[in-house]
Amino acid sequence: EAAASEVIDAKGCHVLPGFVDAHCHVGMWEDSVGFEGDDGNETSDPVMPHLRAIDAIYHADRAFVEARENGVTTVVTGPGSANVIGGQFAALKTYGRRVEDMMIKEPVAMKVAFGENPKTAYHDKRQAPMTRMATAALLRENLIKAAEYKELKEEYEADKENCDKPDYDMKMEALLKVLKGEIPLKAHAHRADDILTAIRIAKEFGLAITIEHCTEGYLITDILREENVSVITGPFLTDRSKIELRNQSAKAPGILSKAGIKTAIMTDHPCTPVQYLSLCAAVAVKEGMDETEALRAITINAAEIAGIDDRVGSLEVGKDADIIIIDGHPLELRSRVLYTIINGQVVKRV
């Protein structure tokens, strides 16, 4: 066994845990394919909690190759934000013969969305949600239905002789994972009011929640800290393509982190290509984020927020052997990833 081991000379290099992109859509919008490979938004119904990313991820998407070649060994990927409830995210490695081989945890979160995107997706159909009120109402309505479904199931299990077994409901079964605290809501929210609505609803139902994008979160850091909410910021290597991005700033991760809020950085691939995750962290440092915190934002913080830190995010005994070796500072644009190791296997070498 010892004879089969490989010794890598990393003298003068930086050795780090593999990078973790805590929010992207790798494999859901296939690279350079177009409509045939766009599987991120099922817009036939605004409430789709039963959809599973695992059934849409294209494991051979070349974005996985580009990710691992640039040090990203784990991605948290899933549905987009056209629906109020979009479906279930999954966390997986960026190397494997099939999705099952790549999987870390599935489901890892339930995607919900606030603000412009659900309104835009359904406005022309003259179908709810056409307003922010309807978005919140649809989410509440289905969480209430799920709670009632849960109660009926519990009553039946407690007294099968006198209670009718409730009809199986695939959507409600998916939401039970949220109500039971097994997975958090992964809440797409840019504007401050949408962020606060997401937190309000989570508190009403006693749910775990992470705020995704959190574009205006830096304007309400005191509230986010008070509510003990973790955030995944980005993408900020994009233009301000819609009204709710008008206050987008690459200073946000640094402001949030310095306020004591656990912060990760996303690419939101394909909005920013996944291979540029470390570049996103570098830009955050340029705009004021502490260097160590920026590295944490694409390693251990990202893993902790995603609930997969028992396996990835740091170099520790007992965790997966996901390691990258870089010939320069990890946040230096010109630095190259010389080796990427996933699950103890060298999957990239220069």
Residue 48 located in a structural domain: yes
- Distance separating alpha carbons of residues 184 and 207, to the nearest angstrom: 7
Q: Look at residue 334 and tell me if it is in a domain.
A: no
The 3-state DSSP composition of the chain as helix, strand, coil percent (nearest 5) reads 35, 20, 45
Question: Rounded to two decimals, what is the model's pTM?
Answer: 0.96
CB 270 within 8 A of CB 31: yes
Specify the pLDDT at position 261.
98
Q: Dmax of the chain from CA atoms?
A: 72
Q: How confident is the model at residue 3 (pLDDT cuts 50, 70, 90)?
A: low
Q: Contact, 308 vs 299, CB < 8 A? A: no
Residue 349 lies in a domain: no
> Domain with 205 in it: what CATH number?
3.20.20.140
State yes or no: pLDDT of 32 exceeds 80.
no
Per the domain annotation, does 335 fall within a domain? no
In a domain, 5, yes or no: no
Phi then psi dihedrals of residue 105, to 5 deg:
-155, 135
When the pLDDT of each residue in the chain is averaged and rounded to a whole number, the result is: 96
Please give the C-alpha separations between residue 314 and each of 98, 300, 309, 323, in angstroms, as whole numbers.
25, 6, 8, 9
The CA distance from 155 to 302, in Å, is 39
Instruction: Among 49-53, 80-84, 234-238, 317-321, name the one with the lowest average pLDDT.
Output: 234-238
- Residue at 211: amino acid letter: I
109, part of any domain: yes
**pLDDT band at 74; cut points 50, 70, 90:** very high
What is the model's pLDDT at position 35? 83
Question: What range does the domain containing 98 cover?
Answer: 19-318
Residue 115 lies in a domain: yes
Domain count of the fold of the chain: 1
Structural domain includes residue 281 = yes
Express each pLDDT in 208-251 by its tens digit. Answer: 999 999 999 999 999 999 999 999 999 999 999 899 999 999 99
Name, in order, each residue with C-beta under 8 angstroms of 233's C-beta and a sequence gap of 6 or more.
213, 214, 215, 217, 252, 253, 256, 263, 264, 265, 266, 297
Q: Give the strand pairing for 85-93 and 103-113.
A: antiparallel
- The answer to whether residues 91 and 105 touch, using CB atoms and an 8 Å cutoff, is yes
3-state secondary structure of 189: strand
Residue 117: its H or E element: helix 116-123
**In Å, what is the CA distance from 19 to each residue of 5, 106, 277, 350?**
24, 19, 8, 18
